[in-house]
Structure 1
């Protein structure tokens, strides 16, 4: 399972391919997030609120398909954010232990940062501004459910990026 990691030089040289792999991993992680989201009463509220912002309509006017598209697109974008974090950190931190196709320390830090961002951005920026009625009535429950889903997202990114990065 351990292999040479992308060094800052090779990561930069392979950056476009690495970013594409990370975007795909983000999309896959968002698909896996559907599992815990579907088990929660308000699990898809973040998807509806995100789609409502894009469409400039109230969350109640968003269809499930529109919410799913917004959610999975956000996952892909978060994968791109992971790639940017990883490339910046791998250039700044010395390479030590490699897991799959990535250096372990920049990978762990990037995974944690992106999972925390995914949670915090929705829970503390998007939800209060766009999901007003939801925010007033069920903010704590929605945030708790979103926290659990964000942890799943981080765990999936943490596992699949090293595996898929070996193809870069």
Structure 2
């Protein structure tokens, strides 16, 4: 059990028969009336985002969620297969609970969120940036570095990333996994 005074980003709680993580929160003390806490919660099972207000001092049930490092092995009809880097145990995980499955390549190290009591996987988080090779894109034209125009590029995982016009095929780029956007060329 915890109260609203214990709120911090990333805290996991049980609410409405689901497990939610606090994305952001704000303590509000109006001039008149009781204090409250405004939160933005994200479901770890469905990915749904919810705005909820708690009264100050309200008790909540915390959920124990553990991050375990796994290596992505391969994908097939049963799902995406991962190997625990400490015990070498392999587990299949459904595609729908993976943050950005189109940006994962074989051998990638990821964090899997596991509910401590039931040992069920809740989500797969990629590192903030991944390095991927561009397998196909239209050739760039000399002098196209001045504008902020973008073109589609296919990377080695099959995902399409919008890149600047000067980026060519067979170039290693850094991609932001939170929104799937181009970050920079890797030297």
Establish whether TM, by shorter chain, passes 0.5. Answer: no
TM-score normalized with structure 2 length: 0.18
Q: Which has the larger strand fraction?
A: 2
User: Which protein shows a greater Rg?
Assistant: 2
Q: Which has the larger helix fraction?
A: 1
TM-score normalized with structure 1 length: 0.19
The higher relative CO (CA closer than 8 Å, separation ≥ 6) is in: 1
